[in-house]
Amino acid sequence: MESCVPLTKDMLKNPVQLQVKDEELDFSRAKQMADQEAKKLTADPMLLAWYNAKTGQYSPPVSCCGDDDRPAWLIYAQSRGGNIYIDINDLDYVFVYRPFEDEA
């Protein structure tokens, strides 16, 4: 699964940046860390999208390649209110959240 447009840091507005010195860091652990960070910003964060640069995988698995200058998974998250960005190890893992409906 490869995105049409490569992700760059300037696509993420005010991301929370985490640097993790752990060569064994995998997606599961990165997600746990991102969930914890998101909960510091909103009581009940809703994960809308994620990206794993190590494998090239992302979710949701949208593959439309429009005229936009952002990856389709990021467009999906942003168009649904995603405004909390957790960037782990310089885009190795990226998670996009929004506050749960009651908080929005």
* Residue carrying the six token digits 């809703």: 46
Q: Round to whole Å and give the CA distance between 13 and 48.
A: 16
pTM for the model stands at 0.91
Q: Round to whole Å and give the CA distance between 80 and 83.
A: 9
Q: Provide the token pair at 75.
A: 């467009």
Residue 8, classified by CB atoms within 10 Å of its CB into exposed (0-12), middle (13-18) or buried (19+), is exposed
Q: Provide the token pair at 26.
A: 């995998």
The architecture that CATH gives domain 9-99 is 2-Layer Sandwich (3.30)
pLDDT bin (cut points 50, 70, 90) of residue 96 is very high
Residue 79 has pLDDT above 80, yes or no: yes
